[in-house]
Amino acid sequence: MPDTPNSPGNRKSSITEQTLSLGDRQIRYTAFAQWQTLFEHEKPVAEMFHVAYLAEVEQATLRPLTFVFNGGPGAASAYLHMGALGPKRVYFGSDGSLAKPPVRVVDNVESWLSFTDLVFIDPIGTGFSRSLAQDDKDTKQSEKANSGEAEKPKETEFWEVERDLKALGEFIGRFLSSHQRWLSPIFIAGESYGGFRVARLARKLQQEFGVGLCGAIVISPALEFSLLAGSDYNLTAWATLIPSFAASAAHHNRVQWAAEQGNLQAHIAAAEQFARTTLIPLLAMGDTMTPDERQTAYQQMAGLIGLPVELIERLGGRIGIEIFARELLRDQQRIVGLYDASITAIDPFPGRVNYEGSDPTLDGLDRLFTGAINSHLRDTLGVETDLSYHLLNLETFKAWKFELKGEFKQGFLGSVDDLRVGMALNPYMQVYIAHGLFDLVTPYFASKHLADMMKLNPHIRPNLTVKHFLGGHMFYTWDESRCLWLAQMKAFYDNATA
């Protein structure tokens, strides 16, 4: 059967009974691997694939229920599903290093199933989720095919900000209805662009779908797109990168920080202070800063992030992630990962001006998670389908419409305003933002900076927690960080449901 969005006939739900052993106790649970239909004007338009793990307890309504998704946009939920939260996980080295083939899937004793039921959602176009053909659209598509015009995937109507959020909101409401869980403590968790989704849904679920949240977990998020790329005129983005550069340089022994006696936290605290009080004024003042003052700042930056002062001076203190990733270990002809700068790889073309190799973190993960999720769904959970599992759909990413509200649709996309409104609407909702120190793509200091800028009312400011861990974008692949995160999340859930 072809892998097309028009083939729902092979989509058979799978419901199995499973057991998770946590050493001191066992959790019996039911695993639902199913497609849920989405509707538009009461007509089916898509089928969203999801895997739900619901523990066998006397009063299921009292047990927390967490909806989980990843980002991209275009990423399936397999990263959080098989990396940290689910009952099975991919095996990594203790420091998050990639294991050699073949892929190993192990029991996850740090699974969140120990304190919450879990629902992993694959947005349309990712995983096994597909849109459905419509009769009136079939005719149009046929006409396009006859005219020689390229046919676009039908999923594209879901590949924009508001339609995506609406689909997730509809899914959550329908799931609560079908499983009689409207009275359960409800949480949402998302990684990367999924963190953006969480922040937006913190408001939208309440206002448009009537879903109240006990908690929102935001993991390695991109909350404000203005902080993803700096320019000559957008200054803050450059500053938010500095602490992650400093942490990464210290990890690779590229900085002289004897005064801190090997204290990583003291080093990144110094980098945070430099970013706020020295770099932003340096960039903002432009040519009005004296050459001596500018040189002093460049020397200080070089001592923090481990790059030559001549390079920093030439770039005027504006150091992008690609520059840092290639230059930090250039003398070893190695490059550090953008998503986890603690991981390195050989630069295959060290003599070329631009880096032309693959990212050692994101690209290296594909073989692990593709093998793990396919084995888990098809073998362990018994899903029978000829559809391909889209782990990371680049077509989705390339086609995504990052459109803004308003008449002019100018500026950067953001989600912090929605998070602020959501927290004000529901002063009981707890929010937890987590990052990895070595993540250069979504640096931890960006979220820390935004939290300081939110001007939350003193009554709800304690509801917001921002933490960072050793590791990169997927810091939970580090054993130490995953265990520490688990302990903190147990306390977070206890507090949110008290």
Tokens of 405: 């509200």
pLDDT of residue 156: 86
Checking if the pLDDT of 141 tops 90, the result is no
Instruction: Kindly give, in sequence order, each residue whose CB lies less than 8 Å from that of residue 2, ignoring residues fewer than 6 positions away.
Output: 386
Checking if the pLDDT of 439 tops 90, the result is yes
The residue whose two tokens read 């689910």 is 86
**CA dist., res. 262 & res. 248, Å (int):** 13
Checking if the pLDDT of 347 tops 50, the result is yes
CATH ID of 8-224+365-496, from 2.40.30.10, 3.40.50.1820, 1.10.3720.10, 1.10.20.60? 3.40.50.1820
What is the identity of the amino acid at 283? L
Range with the poorest average pLDDT among 226-235, 237-246, 303-312, 326-335: 226-235
**CA dist., res. 473 & res. 479, Å (int):** 14
At 287-296, the pLDDT tens digits run 898 999 999 9
**CA dist., res. 210 & res. 203, Å (int):** 10
Range with the poorest average pLDDT among 4-13, 249-258, 449-458: 4-13
What is the identity of the amino acid at 487? A
Tokens of 120: 């992993």
* Partners of 188 in the β-ladder: 67, 216
User: Apex CA 105: angle with CA 103 and CA 108, to 5°?
Assistant: 150
- Mean pLDDT taken over the chain: 89
Instruction: Report residue 344: phi and psi, to 5°.
Output: -125, 165
Checking if the pLDDT of 208 tops 80, the result is yes
At 77-125, the pLDDT tens digits run 999 999 999 999 999 988 888 888 899 999 999 999 999 999 999 999 9
Residue spans of the domains in the chain: they are 8-224+365-496, 230-359
Share of the chain above pLDDT 70, in %: 91
Q: What is the mean pLDDT of residues 365-378?
A: 92
Within 13 A of 264's CA, how many CA atoms are on the CB side? Answer: 15
pLDDT of residue 260: 53
Checking if the pLDDT of 33 tops 70, the result is yes
pLDDT of residue 109: 94
pLDDT of residue 142: 47
Whether 48 contacts 13, CB under 8 Å: no
Checking if the pLDDT of 436 tops 80, the result is yes
First to last CA, the chain: 50
User: Cβ atoms within 10 A of the Cβ of 332, count?
Assistant: 12
Whether 254 contacts 342, CB under 8 Å: no
pLDDT class of 269 with cuts at 50, 70, 90: very high
Tokens of 50: 């999801």
Checking if the pLDDT of 458 tops 70, the result is yes
pLDDT of residue 59: 85
Helix (H) or strand (E) holding 50: strand 43-55
In terms of DSSP H, where are the helices of 64-160? 78-80, 135-147
Is the peptide bond between 102 and the residue preceding it cis, with omega within 30 degrees of 0?
yes
- Which position has the higher pLDDT, 410 or 450? 450
pLDDT of residue 147: 44
pLDDT of residue 4: 47
At 42-61, the pLDDT tens digits run 899 999 999 999 999 888 88
| Residue of 15, 138, 45, 33 lying closest to 77 (CA atoms) | 33
At 213-225, the pLDDT tens digits run 999 999 999 999 8
Checking if the pLDDT of 337 tops 60, the result is yes
pLDDT of residue 262: 67
What is the identity of the amino acid at 301? M
**CA dist., res. 376 & res. 82, Å (int):** 9
pLDDT of residue 261: 54
Checking if the pLDDT of 230 tops 90, the result is no
User: DSSP assignment of 163-195, as one string?
Assistant: HHHHHHHHHHHHHHHHTT-TTS-EEEEEETHHH
Whether 347 contacts 338, CB under 8 Å: no
What is the biggest distance separating any 2 CA atoms in the chain, rounded to whole angstroms? 72
Q: What is the mean pLDDT of residues 359-387?
A: 89
**CA dist., res. 49 & res. 131, Å (int):** 11
| Residue of 309, 293, 317 lying closest to 241 (CA atoms) | 317
CA distances from 229 to 135, 143, 225, 236 (A): 43, 42, 8, 9
Q: What is the mean pLDDT of residues 433-444?
A: 97
Checking if the pLDDT of 137 tops 60, the result is no
Tokens of 42: 């009461």
Q: What is the mean pLDDT of residues 463-490?
A: 96
What is the identity of the amino acid at 170? E
